[in-house]
């Protein structure tokens, strides 16, 4: 088998208006995209080009094999596109789940803080009330102690001192 001598004899005989020589070259280089662009799918395998080829190149057989390869290539490309689309959908769904979980966690945190603040505010008046009562008791005891001391009532003074000590130093 001789190489293509670029005589062009195959071109005018193609009933589909293809360029068999260029098609053959593209397939020989494994360039399915170029062969596809040159109209490989339209080849009817009529053998006209092959019969006029002085190099006796197996044009028709090569074109039929190329069509099978192109079909597999198209299927693979379609499958790859479908896989890519599914992967993109899975990625978007995962992102949406993560964002929702993050928003939920933030909302739960906000609610915990609000609840803690509400409880602290609810406790504050009671604590402040207790402090005020203790201060009043302490002041009353001190006044009673001063009076007991002035009047020389030692027993009362001891009792009042113990009561004041029992109250503690306060907050």
The residue within the footprint of ligand SF4, chosen from 26, 38, 59, 141 (CB under 6 A), is 59
Q: How far is the CB of 36 from ligand SF4 (least distance, A)?
A: 14
Q: In the chain, how long is the greatest CA-to-CA distance?
A: 144
Length of the chain: 171
d(CA 7, CA 10): 8
Per CB under 6 A, does 157 bind ligand SF4?
A: no
H/E stretch holding 147 reads helix 59-150
Asked if residue 38 binds ligand SF4 (CB under 6 A), the reply is no
Q: Report helix angle 59-150 to 154-167, nearest 10.
A: 180
Of 6-14, 81-89, 95-103, 136-144, the window that binds ligand SF4 (rule: CB under 6 A) is: 6-14
Cβ neighbours, 10 Å, residue 62? 18
Residue 113 in contact with ligand SF4, rule: CB under 6 A: no
Q: Please report whether residue 21 would count as binding ligand SF4 according to CB under 6 A.
A: yes
Q: Are 17 and 71 in contact (CB under 8 A)?
A: no
- Of 83, 21, 31, 90, give the one whose Cα is nearest residue 57: 21
# of chain residues touching ligand SF4 (CB under 6 A): 30
5 is an interface residue for ligand SF4 by CB under 6 A: yes
**Distance of closest approach, residue 14 Cβ to ligand SF4, in angstroms:** 3
What string marks each residue from 60 to 99 as x (binds ligand SF4 by CB under 6 A) or -? x--x------------------------------------
Residue closer to ligand SF4 (CB basis): 10 or 26? 10
């Amino acid at each position: 088998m001789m190489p293509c001598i670029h005589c062009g004899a195959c071109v005018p005989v193609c009933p589909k208006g293809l360029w068999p020589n260029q098609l053959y070259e593209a397939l020989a280089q494994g360039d399915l995209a170029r062969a596809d662009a040159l109209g490989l799918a339209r080849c009817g395998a009529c053998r006209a080009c092959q019969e006029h080829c002085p190099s006796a190149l197996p044009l028709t057989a090569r074109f039929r094999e190329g069509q099978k390869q192109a079909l597999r290539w198209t299927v693979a490309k379609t499958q790859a596109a479908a896989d890519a689309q599914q992967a993109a959908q899975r990625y978007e769904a995962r992102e949406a789940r993560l964002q929702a979980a993050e928003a939920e966690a933030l909302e739960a945190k906000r609610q915990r803080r609000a609840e803690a603040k509400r409880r602290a505010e609810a406790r504050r008046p009671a604590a402040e009330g207790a402090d005020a009562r203790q201060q009043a008791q302490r002041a009353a005891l001190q006044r009673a102690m001063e009076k007991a001391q002035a009047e020389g009532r030692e027993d009362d003074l001891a009792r009042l001192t113990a009561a004041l000590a029992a109250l503690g130093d306060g907050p």
